[in-house]
Structure 1
C-alpha cells in the first residue's frame, strides 16, 4: 500500500494549490497597496511643506517670528489630523519658530554634522514621516543677500507627518485579503469532499472486491451503477473475476491431466536413462576410436615429413653454395613449422578440454620471432608488401616459455595478414608492458593494410571452422581454425587477443603474453664492441623500416645518421666516410638504388643494401652495382650485424660440404625396419654415417626373418606397418630369435601423450620420434652401445659436376620457376618435367571423358589433383592456376557445366606446354 490513500491525495491536490495561489495573490496585492499608501502620504506631505517653505521666506528673511509662526500655525490647524508638528530653523540650524510644543523637538532638526538640506528630504519611520524643505531668498524685494548670482539659503522648514490613517487602511486591506483566502480554501474543501465522495468511495469498494477475489472468493462481484471510467473499471473487474473462475476450473482439469502425463514421462525417463547409459558406453568407444585415429593421422603426416626434414639435412652435408644452403635451411624450417602445426591440430582437442600444458624452456625471443618473419617473408615479397619486425629495445632477449606455441601464434596472425593484404605494409610490433622480478609481460601486435573486417564479421572470427564470410574461403582458402587455436594459445599464455579493424582500413591483432626472464641469453653473441666503433649513414624513405634499424642501433650503441628524402641524403653523403645502408622497397625498379650506390661509392663508403626481395638474381645485380652486401627485408638483426662488421656472408660463396669432415664410425650392425621407402632410405643414409653395417626391412615379417638369421647390435623398429606391425614383430623377436637381448628402439610418428610409456610396456627398450634428428639418433646409439669400437675413416666428398646452365622463359613454362621449385637441382627439375609430360595423356583422356559424361566429377577431381601436383613442380604457372580453379570449383559445387570453359582452356594450355617442351629439349640437347 502507498503511504497516503486516495482520499488524502484528493484533499491535498485540491486544497494545497488553492491555498498557495490565494496566499500568493493576497500577499502581492497587500504589499502593493501598502506601497501605494506610503507613497500617497509622502506625496501629500511634500505638497504641503514645499509651498509652506516658499511662504516662510519673507518672514524668515526679516526675522519676523510672529509672521512665520502665524503661517505655520494656520497650516497645522487646518491639517491637524495629519501634521503633528512644524518647526522652522535658520541658516545656523537653530530653531526659529515652532507651531506647537514638542517633547522631542530635536527629531525635526537636521543633523548638525551635515550641511543644511538643499532640497526636500524625506525620512520614513514606522509610524511617522519627517520632511525637511530648504527656504531660499528668491522673492522680489527680499532683504536676503545673493551669493555669486544664486539665492541665499535662509534655513529650512521641518514637519512631522502622521501615518495613522495609512496604517489603518493597510490593516483593513490585509484583513480583507485574509478573509478572501480563507473563503477560497473553504470552497476547495467543499469541492474536495464532494470529489472524494463520488470517486474514492467506489474505488475503495472495488479494492475490497479485488481483495476478496485474491483470497479465492471468485464469486465476488462489484455492484452499483457507475459511469465513465468507473463503469469501465467495474466491468473489467467483474470480467476478470469471471475469467479467473473459468481458468481455475480448467486448471484443475489440467492438473489432473498433467499428473497422468507425468507418470508416463517418468516411465519414459527411466527408459531414456537406460538408453543414455548405453550411449555413454558407445561415446567412450568413439573417444577411443578418435584417439586411435589421431595416432594414425599423426603417423601418416609425420612419416613424409620425416623424409623431407631428414633428406634436407643430408643434402646440407653436400657441396652447396650459400643460396642453395639457405633454400635447404628454409625447407627444413618450413617442414619443422609444418610439424609444429600438425602438433597444434592434434592438440586442438586438448585445448578444448583444457588439458594442454605449455613448456617452460629458455629461448632467444628475438631469434624465435625472426624465424617466423623470415619464413613468411617471401610470401609478402611476392605481393610487393613491406614487412617489418619492430621489437622494443627494452624487450629482453632471453626468456622462458614455450617458443613453439609462440611461433604458432605469430605464424597464424602473420600468415593471415599476408593473405588478406594486397598492397601496403605489414608490421609486427612487440613492446615491453611490465617486468617485475622474473615475470615479463609483452604486448605484440600484427598490423596490416589489407581488406579489413566489418564489426558484424568480427564476431565470427574466433569460432572454429568459421571465417568472416563464405567468400573468404572461396577466394583465400583456409579452414578457419587458425585464429581459434591462436586465441586459445594466447589465453594459455595468460593473455587475450584483441582485434581492431574497419573495412578497407586494414586490421590490427594485438595480444599480451606472460613469460619469465631467463638466466642466460641463448644464441650466438653479437659483435657489440665492433658495432659501437662503426660510423653508419642510413637512407630509408620507409619510416617503419627506419625505426627498425634505429631501434637496433640504439640497442647496439651504434652511431647512426638517418636520411629519409633526397635533400637529407645529399647533405649527409658529401662529407661522410663510413658504412652506408640503403633501404629500397620497389625491387622492380632498381635504377634509383643504383644511383644511390654510385653516390656512396664516390665517397669511398662501403654500401649495404636492404631490398624487399629474396631473389638471388636481384641480389646479384645489386652486388654488381657496387654494394658490398645485399640483405633481404625484413631485416635480420644477426645478418645486419655481420654485414656491418664485414663478416663473410657473400651471396655466391661456396659452402664447405659437411661430408668432408673426418668422422669415426662405430663398429656396429644395425637393422632398420620401416614400411615407407623414403623414411627407410633416409634412416639408412643416417646410419651409414654412424655405424659400419646397416640392414633394412620393409615390414615386421621381414624383420622377424632377418632377426632369426642374423645377430644385430641394435634394431630400429617402425610401429605401424602392413602385414605385421612393429609391436607384434618385437614380441616375436623377443620370444624366439638370435636377438632376444638386442635393444629394440621404437621409431614412430605418434604424438599422443603416454605413447612412450605404453610402448616401453610392450617390449621395446627406447623411443625415437619422427622426424628423426641425426644428433638424437647418434645419442641413442651411444646410450645403448657405449662400449662399441670406433672405426676411423676419412669421408671425402667428390666434387660435384656443374650441369649445363639453361635459361628458358615462356608464358606457359618458366624454367627459372622450375629450378626454384627443385631447389636449383637441374637434374631433378628435368625429371619432374618429364614426369609431367608423361601425365599429359592421362589428363587429356580424363578431360574428354568428363566432357562426354563418361566419368563423374569425383573421379575427375582425383585425376586433376594428381596432375596439379606435377604442374606445381615444373614451372607451368598457367597450368597450375587452371587446375587449381577446376579442382576447387568441382569440390565445392560438383557441377561440371560451371568449369567447362576452363576445361577447354586447359586443353589448349597443354598444347602450348608441349610446344614449349620442344624448345626446351632443343636447349637440353
Structure 2
C-alpha cells in the first residue's frame, strides 16, 4: 500500500503509463486486424449456409413450380424462412406472377457502422427450371441481425482482452521498475535531502554506497565517492579562506596606515603650495592615488605570495605587478612626452604574440597605414585589454581583430559570433583576478579601456551583429606622418631650421631626417632671430630663447634601434613650435558643494582643495538651483536636510534643468538606512556619502562618478 500511496511521485508510474499507452496502441492495431478477419469469416460462413440451403431446396421448388403446385411452393417458402439466416422467400413464375411468399419479422435496427460493415446486398435470386425449361425465380433475403450480433460479441471480447493485457503488462513493468530503480533512487534522494556544506561532515557517506553490481549500483557508489571528494574540497577551501582572510586583514591594515600617511603628506604639501595655480585632471588624480595607495601593500602581498610553492599564487603576483604597470601607463597616457612614431603592424603583431595560443583563435586584418604619431604604450595597452576582455567573454569561437587608419583616427574593431558584451561589462574597471584570467596580458576591464580610449581622443562602445554576437568598436586620435609634415614645413618656411649639433653621429642622423622629411633649413648664422634652432647645447638654446629646440638623448627610438635621438620626440617638438596649443592641459573640474552646516562645508571644501579642486558653494537648495542654472558642473555634493529648500527638492528641480540634467549628484547625509538611500535615489541622486566623511571617501566619489560624466559630455 505504501508503494501505491506514493505512486504519483514515482518514476515507475511514468514508465508504466507510457508502456500501457504503447501496448494499447499495439493491441488496438491487432484487435482491428482480428475484427476485420472475423467480419470476413462471418460473411463467408453466411454465404456457405445460404448456398447449402438453396442447393438442398432448389429441386423441390423446381418440381413444385413445374407442376404449378402453389401450396407446395408456399410450404417450401415458409420452410426457408424458418431458418435463422433467412427473413423472406418469394417464388414467381416465368410470367412474373407471384406463386408463394413467406416473411419472418425482425426487431433488429442496424446502425450506420453495421450497414457500412455489411454493405453487400442481402438478396439472392436463383432461377427455377425443369429439364432446361425456365419456370421462374426464387428470391431469398438474408437476415443481417444475427451476423451483427455475433460480430458485436466478438468485438467486445477482443477489446476486453487487449485492455486486460495492457493493464497487466503495465502493472508488471511498474512493479519491476519500482523494485529495480525507483526504490533505491528514492532511498538515495532521502539520504541527500537537506545535505549542505555545513552538515556534510556529519553524514556517513558509506551508507550511500550500494552492493548492487548493476549500473544503478555503480552510479550510487560513484555519487558517494563524489560527495567524499566534495567533502575534502570543502575542508581545503575553508583552510584557503582562512589564509586569504589573514592576508586581507594584513592588507587592510597596511592600506589604512598608508592612507593616513598619504593624507597627512597631502595636506602638508597643499599648505606649502596654496598659491600654485596648476591643476590635474580627475582621472590623473584617480590613478595616481590608486597606484600610490596600492604599491606598498601590494608589494608586500606580492612578496608573500611569491614565496609560496603554489603556481597560482606566483601567477597572481605577476598579474598584480602587470596591473600596477598598466595603471602607471594609463596615468601617463595623456602626456605629450609619450608620443611616438609607431608602426601599427608591428604593434599588433607584438600584442598577438602575448596572447596564449590555446586561449583564443584570433584572425587579424591590418589596413595599410603610414607611421602614426600616438602614445605607443597606451595603444599597446588598449589592444591587449580589448583582446583580454574579448577572450574572457568569448570562451569559444574565433575572434576577428581589425585595425586601420581613417580620417586622423585609428579604428580598432574586435568581433565574434560568440562574443557577448553588455552595458554592465562596459562599466567594469578591472577583470576578476581569478586563476583562469592569469595568463591574459591585461587585467583592465572595459571601463578603464574606455577611459584610456577617451584620454587618447576617442571612445569605446559595442554593437550587436545581425548574425549573432557583438563587436567592440574603438577609435583613438592619431596623426600620420604624411599629415604632420605639411604643417611643419609651412612653419619652417618662415622660421627655417638651423641645426647646431656637436655630436657627429647624431648630427648625421638629424640631417638625414630633415632631408627625408624635406624640412627647410637656414643658410644664415645661428644668431638669427628668424630661425628655429635645433641644438644639443643647453647654453646655446638658452641664448636663442623660445625659438629653439634642445634635443634630449634617448635610449632607443621607435623607428630604428641605433638612433641617438628619438624621431618621434623631434617631430613632437617641431609640432609644439608649429602649434603652441598642441599640448594644452585639460580643463579644471567644476564641483558644486551644497551644505548649510558651515563646519561640514569648510571641511569638504578643504578636502576638495587637497585634490586640486576649487568648488562653488551654496547654503541651501535654492542657492544650489541658481548656481546650476548658470553653470555646468562635473559633480554636485548635496546635503539632504537644509533650510529654505532641502536637497531632495533641489535635486528634482536640477534634474529638470537641461544644463545639469545628467550631472552626478551625491547626497551628503547623516542617515544611512535603506529608506533614506531609497529616498535619495527616488529624488534623482546617484549615490550618497554618510556623515562624517573623510577625504578618501570624497576622492573615491570623484574617481567613481566624474570620469563617467566626462565620457557622456565628450559625446
The structure with the largest alpha-carbon Rg is 1
Range into which the TM-score falls when normalised by the shorter chain: 0.3 to 0.5
Using the size of structure 1 for normalisation, the TM-score is 0.28
